[in-house]
Structure 1
């Protein structure tokens, strides 16, 4: 079965990690995979592995941008000749449907802001032969708006760290005993780094690593200065070495306003790192089995208290690490995820759906 993944970009995000993992594992299920995207380090890595990759400009919310993306997607489909297109997220689904002709399109809904759900549902109803949600919470939002959805939870295609804890801490200028928190998230409004920085004013004696870049970087750097925490916060920019950063870390934190089922959380649990996260959407599903602490949205005091618990209490860290690893192994196994996708896509290609 020839599967063409269509996605806006193949950089450091969670959906991109899912695509890269599915492409690497697809051969075990008889897939021949290709990827059409706006590029990024994961696309370059796949290209080096001789995976067919195609350039696809990001479809901005303007007609000219969508038309350019559709033209590029049509070239990719003609070149790769897939049996099915697997479109990741809403804009990719729209572009794929306009370009695919008779080739079926299956959409993977990784999540959108609550204000965008109605529009997303309308597009998915009209573009997709089948729709997959990565979390029960996301599926419920779509079903309430008349979209038939199958839930296939995200899995973590774990990559081992390339260097040991002491070495990566040395490269980051961190002492061997300093408590470290990591926030692996784009510097965009959804992720609410402002809440995290306010929480950090209540956590003394530790360092916060912000791995990601985005439109709010300058504003957040200024806020860190104003709050008096700039000397304890490191803006690392976009990173391709998250497994190494996790090796250097004691706890991971996400103070987002909304999430689907973030791969950053799954990667952290698989690495034995407890997670402090906002009590939202798919994060609640992941952490319900242990592995961390959920805190109310936009509550810096609650986030600070949970961070301090894991930063300074080794027993709490160890207990959460054990629970988190068990939850990932039980509920987010890559083979189980791929088997479900394989069954869905083959049914779709066979025309019985």
Structure 2
């Protein structure tokens, strides 16, 4: 079964992590995979592993940008000749449908999430572009249904865990942190959705010596760096990183203060690394952490975020208990084999049987 993934880019985001994992593991399920994207280090890694990759310019919010992206996907499809196309998110769904006209191949869209106010528009676009829609969490599927999209499928995200390359002490030393200092890491692009402003407000309220690593880059970096000058080195900007497993091994917990998410891979990756999580109650986060593994806080609430961070950062016993619960939950409920089997069955059913 020839599967073409279409996604805007292949950097450090959660959707990109999922695509990289699915493309790498697909061979075990009889897939021949390819990825059409705007590029990034994950695309480079797949190309090095002999997975076909095709360049697609990022579709800007203009008709010309969408048409250029669609033309690039059409060229990729002509070269790869997929049996089915998996588009990741709404923009990729629109571009892929235009590229595949007339309807010669099934198009399935994996919906990773949008801001609350964008659900009606997303549901409307998906109704006209996707043959099937897959939501990455029950909460996201419910929101799509409320917005008017009938019967989206549910396949919740899983984590394709990778072991760290370097040890905890080595990573900490390279980043200038002593072995005993509590460290929280936020693996998120520096964009408005992720609400790093709330995180910095919470960090200012913490009593105790701790360091916050911000791993990611984006349009807000300059503004956030200026705000962080008052923290005297307790907030460190690491930029885009390709060593997420190493950072998790070196940190004590993960924090995510987003306004919206689908089912964030950063949360699952942290739990797979036996690191507890402090995250906002958005998308599928509450469902993931309902069995333990961290603390859920209201969006946009720096006071509650600071209290949750303090409860785990400065209490090794509580942190150890949450870490064990996190690992147990992700191993039981978010196994990549379960995810791959579900997608394989859905794709083959859509195609009318094994190919």
TM-score normalised by length of structure 2: 0.97
Partner residue of 1:220 out of 218, 224, 227 = 224
Q: Any residues of structure 2 matched to 1:40-51 within 5 Å, and which? A: 40-51=40-51
Aligned to 1:159: 162
Q: Which SS does the other structure have where 2:233 is aligned? A: helix
1:2 and 2:2 equivalent? Answer: yes
Shift of 1:78: 0.3
Contact 2:190/2:221, CA 8 A, preserved across alignment: yes
Question: Cα 1:351–1:131, aligned 2, differ >3 Å: closer, same or farther?
Answer: farther
Partner residue of 2:188 out of 185, 194, 201 = 185
Structure 1 segments, 4+ long, off by >3 Å, are none
Contact 2:184/2:211, CA 8 A, preserved across alignment: yes
User: Unpaired runs of 5+ in structure 2?
Assistant: none
Shift of 1:145: 2.5
Distance 1:284 1:184 in 2: 18
Contact 1:272/1:325, CA 8 A, preserved across alignment: yes
Distance 1:109 1:260 in 2: 8
Contact 2:5/2:36, CA 8 A, preserved across alignment: yes
Q: Which SS does the other structure have where 2:189 is aligned? A: coil
Over residues 73-124 of structure 1, what are the superposed CA-to-partner deviations in whole Å (9 max), with x where a residue is unaligned?
0000000000000000000001111111311100000000111111110111
Aligned to 2:205: 202
Aligned to 1:70: 70
1:211 and 2:215 equivalent? Answer: yes
Aligned to 2:52: 52
Aligned to 1:136: 138
TM-score normalised by length of structure 1: 0.97
Distance 1:50 1:277 in 2: 36
Contact 2:136/2:156, CA 8 A, preserved across alignment: yes
- Pairwise CA RMSD: 1.1
Contact 1:221/1:230, CA 8 A, preserved across alignment: no
Shift of 1:305: 1.2
User: Unpaired runs of 5+ in structure 1?
Assistant: none
Contact 1:269/1:325, CA 8 A, preserved across alignment: yes
Distance 2:353 2:335 in 1: 28
Partner residue of 2:153 out of 147, 150, 153 = 150
